[in-house]
A = this chain, B = another copy of it.
Amino acid sequence: MAGRHFLHVPGPTNVPDRVLRAMHVPMEDHRSPVFPALTLPLFQRLKSLVRTETGEAFIFPSSGTGAWEAVLTNTLCAGDRVLSPRFGQFSHLWIDLAQRHGLDVVIQEEEWGIGASPQNIHDALAADRDHSIKAVMVVQNETATGVTSDIGAVRAAMDAAKHPALLFVDGVSSIASIDMRMDEWRVDGIVTGSQKGLMLPAGLGIAVMSRKAMEAMEAARTRDPLKRCYFDFLDMQKANATGYFPYTPSLPLLYGLREALDIIDEEGLDQVIARHRFLAEGVRRGVKQGWGLKLCAREPKWESDTVSAILVPEGVDGAAVIRRAFERYNLALGAGLSKVAGKLFRIGHLGDLNELMCLAALSGAEMAMRDVGIAVEPGSAVAVASEYYRSADKASSLKAAA
């Protein structure tokens, strides 16, 4: 198909040309004396990205799923209890992974359309008098429903319950797009992948661990830690200390990561986060005020700044919109998964993105909807979103985000 493809799934996201260029490198010896000059700063910069000074960053050649596995298998023992709310496909999958590794997961079912409930977490922890729950697992941004949980509120709930459980957060579709304050919120383990806010191809699983988590890891060894080797933090830690890896890392992705972090630094992390909010708000207004459609997120406080899940009217198959957009308009939208299959389509708005890209996605989704019989008004979403983009001041939007 002629012309540019418009990629608006919530990951993988558009990789900036600069990053693709940075990855176009000949191979080199990953045990050479000059290699650490590339790698050592990366660990430090990943920590800044989640605003931690005391944490420790790990980079695995894997997807984000591998980093999930690393966090759990390094810090917990067979049969350990963990608490986790489930409110979408990705919170579900993380729970599934935990169970398959032999953890005893206390699942809090929440409606698909809202996020983790600090109150429910508080209550469950308060009831856990003997502290049998070793960790709380929360998805910061549920990619399937376009819902963001309030991690600061979860931390406050845990504190209120005076519970010592570790706090593990899935930040796959939020890191570098939605604020993460690891030290302030005392998050113990954060997981992300390279193919979302980091604007890279998939292939890096990233975890940042708190000191408390690393101590839990030491303690687990005296009990019966879950088995792992590829995802072992200790092997990594030992090799990383001098800038190396226990096995061959993916060089292009490390070079790409350096460039992506440069891009984020140049824009400024605060501004990156504000830009995501700003662009997302335009899309949401277009959807609600322009098209008169509803988001899967039940209330504004749950609305995600990285992906909007748009409910299609009863009787229409959301998948038909996606198929039409892909085949006719060169636009990739995200599908409804599992429980919400067919009920919605998703517009990813994260990573390397600007106003015109969002307006093009709205235009394309609108044409596809009209083609399959959804009677939205032509140009209506663009009219609303573009007026918002015009009038809103990025700087003040930044202030609001800070």
Contact = CB atoms under 8 A, between A and B. Distances in A.
Interface of A: 1-7, 9, 11-15, 17, 20-33, 60-66, 68-69, 96-97, 100-102, 193, 195, 201-203, 226-232, 246-253, 267, 272, 275, 290, 323, 326-327, 329-332, 334-335, 352-357, 359-361, 363-364, 366-367, 370-371, 377-384, 386-387, 389-390
B26 A23 contact: no
A334 B323 CA distance: 35
A366 B385 CA distance: 12
Given A249-B202, A387-B378, A28 B5 contact: yes
B26 A24 contact: no
Contact of A14 (B4, B96, B326): B4
Nearest to A356: B360
Contacts of A226: 227
A112 B9 CA distance: 45
Nearest to A14: B27
Nearest to A73: B227
Which of A2, A332, A380, A382 is packed against the most chain B CB atoms within 10 Å? A2
Given A356-B330, A364-B356, A29 B4 contact: no
Contact of A379 (B97, B275, B331, B386): B386
16 contacts: A3-B354, A3-B355, A6-B356, A7-B28, A21-B24, A27-B195, A29-B332, A61-B63, A65-B246, A100-B228, A201-B250, A201-B252, A203-B253, A356-B363, A378-B382, A378-B383
A201 B62 contact: no
B17 A26 contact: yes
Contacts of A247: 63-65, 202
